[in-house]
């Protein structure tokens, strides 16, 4: 999915995010299984893990999306990021057909 060019007032911000490479590290606390467990412990009704839907804002290279997507092929994973360079790397991982991420989008 392609996005419209950034508005003039945010163009500098977008350019800065693309010029400065940042390291993406996985955050185990964000894994859908952990979040569902915490929800259940708090008395919430959670979606079935196998078919859960995950949205990650500022997903970068998709490091928190790709591993769970590989383990949960019936689940839906969507990542959004303003930086095109890390997003392109994430998209390359998705495009090799090994992973089951539905969409990675650019804002």
**Per-residue confidence band for 44, with pLDDT thresholds at 50, 70 and 90:** very high
**Section 47-65 average pLDDT:** 90
- Choice between 68 and 11, residue whose per-residue pLDDT is larger: 68
Q: Please check the confidence at residue 92 and state whether its pLDDT lies above 90.
A: no
CA dihedral 63, 67, 72, 76 (to 10 degrees): 10
Q: Please check the confidence at residue 99 and state whether its pLDDT lies above 80.
A: no
- What is the tens place of the pLDDT at every residue in 4-14? 666 767 778 77
Collect all residues with Cβ–Cβ distance below 8 Å to 44 and sequence separation of at least 6. none
Whole-number pLDDT of residue 5: 64
């Amino acid at each position: 999915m392609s996005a419209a060019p950034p508005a003039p007032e945010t163009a500098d911000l977008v350019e800065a995010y693309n010029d400065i490479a940042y390291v993406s590290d996985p955050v185990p606390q964000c894994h859908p299984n952990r979040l569902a467990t915490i929800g259940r412990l708090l008395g919430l009704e959670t979606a079935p893990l196998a078919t859960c839907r995950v949205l990650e804002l500022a997903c970068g290279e998709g490091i928190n999306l790709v591993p769970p997507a590989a383990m949960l092929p019936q689940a839906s994973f969507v990542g959004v990021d303003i930086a095109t360079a890390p997003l392109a790397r994430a998209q390359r991982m998705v495009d090799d057909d090994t992973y089951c991420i539905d969409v990675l989008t650019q804002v």
